[in-house]
A and B are shown apart, each in its own frame.
Chain A
Amino acid sequence: MITGPLGSGKTTLLRHILAMHPANIAIVMNEFGEITIDAKIIEGQNVRIAELGGGCVCCSLLGEFEAAVTEIINKVGPERIVVETTGLAEPEALVFNIQDALPQCRLDGVISVIDADMLARFPELGHTTRLQIEGADILLLNKIDLVDANQIEPLERKLRETNSSAVIIRTERCRIDPELLFGIGRHREQTDALLGPGSPIPATTHQNRPDFGSFAFSSDKGFSRDCFERFADALPASVIRAKGFVRFQDGSQLFNFVAGRWELEPFEADRTELVFIGKEIAAKKKTILSALKKCEL
């Protein structure tokens, strides 16, 4: 799910995802008009669908969200659905609807796109913006090219004050490989799933999980494959999940790490970009980053 205030770059991110031509993906957006689509439009009951080829479709809601998603699943059968919320939406209610009313889906994660320039310019976070930051698993601090380089860290601290555990990734024009956005989201859900529906359920938002954290790393340098493999084997048990792209001398690879097991597969990427998520991970951040630095060529 993609959320964020009006004008923060949600549609740009969708456009970017579409440009990567992902297969078997359905994109649900507020308005078709924001993206030029040269495709056949199918008018459904709850949704308007544009076929983009390769199982990729773009959809615009006509009716109820749950009904529209069900219709998309039945008609198109995508592997992934990316949903854009309006800039005015409070994401938690939709998160609940997905978990509650759409058992045929698993919510992968909530991505909030935040405009760095706006964050710097307006002294107060709005009510809805705050909820959009709080509810995020991944925060894209976007438009960093519009602020001074020395402003970025204070802005990240501002985001951390509201959401201490989300992965913060800096972007310009939302340029990020969509692959990095999938599969690293909802770790907090594990506790929800154990409790199941019923009452009362303790709140499991980020604020109540201060031990849970994450950080991101990026580099334009090439990496030594042997060194990186040793690094991956030696990642501490507190790292639950890591994902990203690594540029080696013989080409770039997608790195996927889940609870001690990892794999690398060839993947087109022009820089190294990694995220690490885990329990009490802040204490290990320095060690992990310096070990990683040693693998740079």
Chain B
Amino acid sequence: MAIFDNLQKISDTAWELPASYKDGMRVPARIIATEKLVREMDEAVYQQISNVTTLPGITRYALCMPDGHSGYGFPIGGVAAMDVHEDGVISPGGIGFDINCGMRLVITNLTLEDVQPHLRQIVDRLYERVPAGVGSHGFLKLSRQDFRNLVEQGARWCIEHDYGWEEDLEFTEENGCISGANSAKISERAVDRGYNQVGTLGSGNHYLEVQVARPEDVRDKELAEKFGLAIPNQVVVMFHCGSRGFGHQVATDYLRTFLKVMDSKYGIKILDRELACAPFESPEGRDYFAAMKCGLNMSFANRQVILHRIREVFSDVFGRSAEDLDMRMVYDVAHNTAKLERHLVDGKERKLLVHRKGATRAFGPGHREVTTRYREIGQPVIIGGSMETGSYLLVGTASGAETFFSTAHGSGRTMSRTKARKLWHGKQLQRDLEARGIYVRSTSWAGLAEEAGAAYKNIDEVIAATELAGISKPVVRFTPIGNVKG
């Protein structure tokens, strides 16, 4: 029997594998997507999300977002809330290696007409000022001690060193600095891999894009204006990057630790070794939490420095200050995290460690953790599509409580990177994109091919699914015109 037939339809956008599906499942596994998107998912996703339900402390269900696809341990798009008072665990495979890989969106008061004549120059300068590629080094020269301070202070460190505006912090999740980051819990090797990478994009699916908000793509005019999008054909810059080699090393270090203690010390039995974990309230779990927070802060700082470079480039090209170009941040959201949050479960408030791997936090209107500037309307959500198709600004909804206020993070791959490289050739892809008015610079042709539009799910379908499921609401769709690909 095909595994799809084991799924119970809860609603048009909720599909459940019951806890009886597999031995050891503590709660059901739920996929939030339309039938079409569910059917398009790799069967490994169903196995992975049901394996997640075997982890101690899991509350209500393990969730997979509409853009889910298979990853290390958890699927990418996986969400799991662990009750820390009920022996709940923390698992690096539920956070991802690129800790706090995330999105940042900045507006300008320029229109497509203003930018078009300078587009190549802007993209070329961005390509120079924001280093991309696998081992790219940043222009920021930090000592190892500076770096340790930076990972404890996050984007705040950058503002204090003149890389940005004070108000940027207000528009960043956690105000750009999550408390409790402890650099004593990270290895020297992690510092090695991070201290020269602040201000760099990285490789893979990381990118920086110049985009346009076409009038016909504004889905909610009133909300759009509140986020600063009020000019027809307004140009914005969106970028996606994370904690680079640093986050990867932190995850590796603690996966090793957890593999040693998981069974022998804590008696935790799991189906898939990639789900290695430790109780949150254990010395190992606490240490990882403090180290992982350093990864979160490194990433906020990384995006802060990149924002500063973007402002410099626009300012140089147009001969006006970034303030004069109104280059305000709309928001910065994290994708790969685990955070302690309070959620209502069966009418009772509980303290849960919410793992979001390739999923975006999406608090609705009135939530106390949303910045006061947006509290009335809800938290902005930024979802990037493939570089060919388009991206979205959305907002969290009150009905998002069903998914612990989580939504999709991107369009989700439909095929492996390897397969994409075999199907397309990067250089040809660049020419095709240019013919369609999108100017692309990339460090690697093969890497560019990996990001071909057809290697991803249709972004519009993913967004529609999140809206239908009531977990986020689209505000504006953006069309790319220039792209720096990592």
Stretch binding the partner chain, chosen from B83-91, B269-277, B294-302: B269-277
Given contacts A65-B134, A127-B44, contact A200 B274 (CB under 8 A): no
B72 touches A122 (CB 8 A): no
Q: Would you call B421 and A96 a contact (CB within 8 A)?
A: yes
- Which of B2-10, B342-350, B395-403, B411-419 lies at the interface? B411-419
- B-facing mask of A26-49, CB < 8 A → 1, else 0? 000001010000000000001000
**Interface flag for B470 (CB, 8 Å):** no
- The answer, yes or no, to whether B104 is at the interface (CB within 8 Å) is no
For the complex, what is the distance from the CA of A33 to the CA of B256, rounded to whole Å?
15
- B residues near A87, Cβ cutoff 8 Å: 252, 255
B140 partner residues in chain A, CB cutoff 8 A? none
- Check A124 against B189 for contact (C-beta < 8 Å): no
Evaluate contact between B273 and A122: CB separation under 8 angstroms.
Answer: yes
A188 to B419, CA, bound (A): 16
In the complex, B228 has a CB within 8 A of chain A: no
The one of A46, A64, A129 in contact with B274, judged by C-beta atoms closer than 8 angstroms, is A129
Task: Flag if B73 contacts A126 (CB, 8 Å).
Answer: yes
Min CB distance A16 to B, Å, is 20
The reply to whether the CB of B424 lies closer than 8 angstroms to some CB of chain A is yes
Question: In the complex, which residues 79-122 of chain A have their Cβ closer than 8 Å to any Cβ of chain B?
Answer: 86-88, 90, 92-93, 96-97, 100-101, 118, 122
The interface residues of chain A lying within 8 Å CB-to-CB of B248 are: 86, 88
Q: A86 contacts B423, CB within 8 Å?
A: no
Q: How far is the CA of A97 from the CA of B418 in the complex (A)?
A: 10
A5-B273, A6-B255, A7-B256 given; A127·B72 CB < 8 A: yes
From A33, A88, A92, A100, B72 is in contact (CB under 8 Å) with A88
Decide: B272 and A6 in contact? CB cutoff 8 A.
no
CB of A183 within 8 Å of the partner chain: no
Closest B residue to A100 by beta carbon equals B446
Q: Max chain A CB contacts within 10 Å: which of B48, B134, B416, B425?
A: B134
Q: A199 to B428, Cβ gap below 8 A?
A: yes
Residue of B nearest to A46 (CB): B135
Tell me, yes or no, whether B405 is within 8 Å of chain A by CB.
Answer: no
CB closest chain-B residue, reference A66: B134
Query: Using a CB-CB cutoff of 8 Å, which residues 245-292 of chain B contact chain A?
Result: 248, 251-252, 255-256, 259, 270-275
Are B70 and A127 neighbours in the complex by a CB distance under 8 Å?
Answer: yes
Q: Quick check: A123 and B274 within 8 Å, CB to CB?
A: no
Q: Find B416's partner among A67, A92, A124, A197 (CB 8 Å cutoff).
A: A92
Q: In the complex the two chains form, is A199's CB within 8 Å of B271's CB? A: no
B71 within 8 A of A: yes
- Name the residue among B272, B275, B418, B428 with the largest chain A CB count within 10 angstroms: B418
A6 B256 Cβ-Cβ under 8 A: yes
Task: Across the interface, name the chain A residue whose C-beta is closest to B418.
Answer: A92
Residue in A65, A88, A100, A199 whose CB lies within 8 Å of B135:
A65
Q: B355 at interface (Cβ–Cβ under 8 A)?
A: no
* A118/B135 contact (C-beta < 8 A), A127-B71, A198-B425 known: no
Chain B residues within 8 Å of chain A by Cβ, number = 41
Q: Which of B189-218 contact A (CB under 8 A)?
A: 189, 192
A162 at the interface (CB under 8 A from B): no
Q: Please, which residue of chain B has its CB at the minimum distance from the CB of A202? A: B422
Chain A residue contacts of B418, Cβ below 8 A: 92-93, 96
Contact A118 B252 (CB under 8 A): no
> Chain A residue with minimal CB distance to B203?
A64
Tell me the bound Cα distance from A68 to B193 in angstroms.
Answer: 14
Interface residues of B in 213-259 (CB under 8 A from A): 248, 251-252, 255-256, 259
Interface residues of A in 1-41 (CB under 8 A from B): 5-7, 31, 33
Write out the residue numbers on chain B whose beta carbons fall within 8 Å of the beta carbon of A127: 44, 48, 70-73, 274
The reply to whether B446 and A97 contact each other, CB–CB distance below 8 Å, is yes
Among A7, A88, A197, residue most surrounded by chain B Cβ atoms (within 10 Å) = A88
Max chain B Cβ within 10 angstroms of own Cβ: one of A67, A90, A122, A198 = A122
Contact A7 B259 (CB under 8 A): yes
Q: How far is the CA of A87 from the CA of B97 in the complex (A)?
A: 12
Q: Is the CB of A63 within 8 A of B422?
A: no
CA distance A96 to B387 in the complex (A): 22
Partner of A93, one of B137, B272, B273, B417: B417
Given A87-B252, A124-B47; A200-B259 close (CB under 8 Å):
no
Docked CA distance A101–B133 (Å): 13
- Complex interface bits, B123-142 against A, C-beta within 8 A gives 1, otherwise 0: 00000000001111100000
Instruction: Say if the beta carbon of B175 comes within 8 Å of chain A.
Output: no
1/0 per residue A122-135: CB within 8 Å of B?
Answer: 11111111000000
| Interface residue from A46, A90, A101, A123 paired with B446 (Cβ < 8 Å) | A101
Is B444 an interface residue, CB under 8 A from the partner? Answer: yes
**A193 close to B (CB within 8 Å):** no
Please measure, in the bound complex, the distance between the C-alpha atom of A65 and the C-alpha atom of B134, giving whole angstroms.
Answer: 8
B337 close to chain A: CB less than 8 A: no
Answer whether residue A269 sits at the interface, using C-beta atoms and an 8 A cutoff: no
Contacts of A283 in B (CB 8 A): none
Interface residue A52 (Cβ < 8 Å from any Cβ of B): no
B304 touches A (CB below 8 Å): no
B172 interface hit (Cβ, 8 Å): no
Nearest-neighbour CB distance to chain B for A194, whole angstroms, equals 14
Q: Is the CB of A199 within 8 A of B425?
A: yes
CB distance from A201 to the nearest CB of B (A): 5
User: What are 7 contact pairs spanning A and B, CB under 8 A?
Assistant: A5-B274, A65-B134, A86-B248, A88-B252, A100-B445, A126-B72, A199-B422
Other than A93-B417, A199-B423, give 20 A-B pairs with Cβ distance below 8 A.
Answer: A5-B274, A61-B135, A62-B135, A62-B192, A63-B134, A87-B252, A92-B416, A101-B444, A101-B446, A118-B273, A125-B272, A126-B273, A126-B275, A127-B71, A127-B274, A128-B72, A199-B428, A200-B422, A201-B423, A203-B419
